[in-house]
Structure 1
Amino acid sequence: MQLLPSLPNPSVFVLDNAPYHSQLTEESRCPTTAIRKADLIRWLKQHKSSIPPAATCPELLLFCQQNRPQPQYKIDNTIRMWGHEVIRLPPGHPELNAIEQVWGCMKRHVRSTLQRFTWTDLQDRLEEARHMVHKDVWTGAVQHSRKFEEEYWKTIIINIASDDEDDDVFFESDVE
């Protein structure tokens, strides 16, 4: 926990959807099929949801899903507690995350220079790759991600005149 207190306030953290970034708080977890019926009922009561009499476990699980709270992530709460902001990348878009570009550069170096398949040689190539990542590499990765983001936004058309929620966002590929 040395990073958060040392950053200037406010800083912005851009997080991908890696599992270690996506651990839910206890309050925002929704029950799963591994829970007993009594616990499902208790969860629904805690979340002030109506419980139909004689509901089966699958029906109770469906009610839980319908009354699921907004996800809150442990790491987001910790980051905000220190006065910083969190932006989460959309799932399935590693192109928007500059670190993915850097990892790719490092992996290409290791793959192209690894001569002997030994642990020592692998560690040496990884260390070389780590030293290759300097300010210019990061700058290029961030520029690449920004360029991709700009192109991504160009493909979205927002119809603000529509009252139908399903018609609010179109992708360029949907419009002919």
Structure 2
Amino acid sequence: MAEIKLWLSENYITYHPTLRKPSLLVLERKYKPDPVYFIDELLADYDHTVVRLPPYHCDLNPIELIWSLAKRKVALQNVGAKDIKQLTEEAFSSITTTDWKQCCEHVKKIEREYYERGTTLYEDIDQLVLRVGEDSSSESESESEAEDIDMQVGAATSQDSYEPSIEGIEYLDFDLLE
């Protein structure tokens, strides 16, 4: 907690001294700049842009579809006292370039659907979050805490409207794999 307070102080971000660690982390996340990765700079030198996928977002990660395919193959063969390691190796060995292409094409289709929906997916995200044990008519603790933090910091931030664009996004050319 002392490290977080030190970082906030070094970056001239005011905070109330009684704030607890979760509130301090919210502040840090709000003001800490995104990391700059060497690979992003290298690719930018060659006019490429890195588009990061949301972690654990199975709709947008083809590898999640491949994992699912491999698990299904293992489950179909996992009868009796068979060696699970061998079954897993066979399952992954049987996954073809065509399987990868199909998974990637499926993800591209989902991406296009998300882009066609526009920002509503992100603007309405609070309506999609299930809050267990909360009264739906009351203000959530996280909203209240965020407002308290903004008041303590004294920062009135305005979000610029975010308009996603798929312009310039490149996909792996599967012809290179064959």
* Shorter-chain TM-score tier: 0.5 to 0.7
- Asked if 1:107 corresponds to 2:107, the answer is no
| Richer in strand (by share) | 1
| Residue 47 in structure 1 maps to residue 11 in structure 2 | yes
* Shift in alpha-carbon separation, 1:129–1:156, aligned structure 2, 3 A: same
1:134-153 residue pairs with structure 2 within 5 A? Answer: 134-153=96-115
Judge conservation of contact 2:70–2:92 (CA < 8 Å) in 1. Answer: yes
- Aligned residue identity for 1:99: I
Amino acid at match of 1:133: I
What's the CA shift string for 1:121-161, capped at 9, x where partnerless?
Answer: 10111111111111111111111111111122222268xxx
2:4–2:25 CA contact under 8 A, matched in 1: no
Question: Quick one: structure 1 residues 41 and 141, their matched pair in 2 at CA, closer, same or farther if it must change by over 3 Å?
Answer: closer
- The residue identity in structure 1 corresponding to 2:34 is P
Q: CA RMSD in A?
A: 3.4
Matches of 1:64 and 1:167, distance apart in 2: 21
Give the AA of the match of 1:46.
E
* Runs of 5+ unmatched residues, structure 2: 44-48, 121-157, 164-178
- Name segments (4+ residues, structure 1) moved above 6 Å: 166-169
Mapped to 2, the partners of 1:100 and 1:61 lie a distance apart of 34
Q: Deviations over 1:30-80 (max 9, x none)?
A: xxxxx23xx45422221122466xx324398278447531332xxx61423
Structure with the greater relative contact order (CA < 8 A, sep ≥ 6): 1 or 2?
Answer: 2
Number of aligned residues: 120
Q: Which residue of 2 aligns with 1:125?
A: 87
Report the Cα distance in structure 1 between the residues aligned to 2:111 and 2:100, rounded to whole angstroms: 16
Instruction: Give runs of aligned pairs for residues 1-176 of structure 1, distance below 5 A.
Output: 35-36=1-2, 39-50=3-14, 55-58=17-20, 61=24, 64-65=27-28, 68-72=31-35, 77-80=37-40, 83-84=42-43, 85-90=49-54, 93-117=57-81, 121-156=83-118
TM-score (norm 1): 0.53
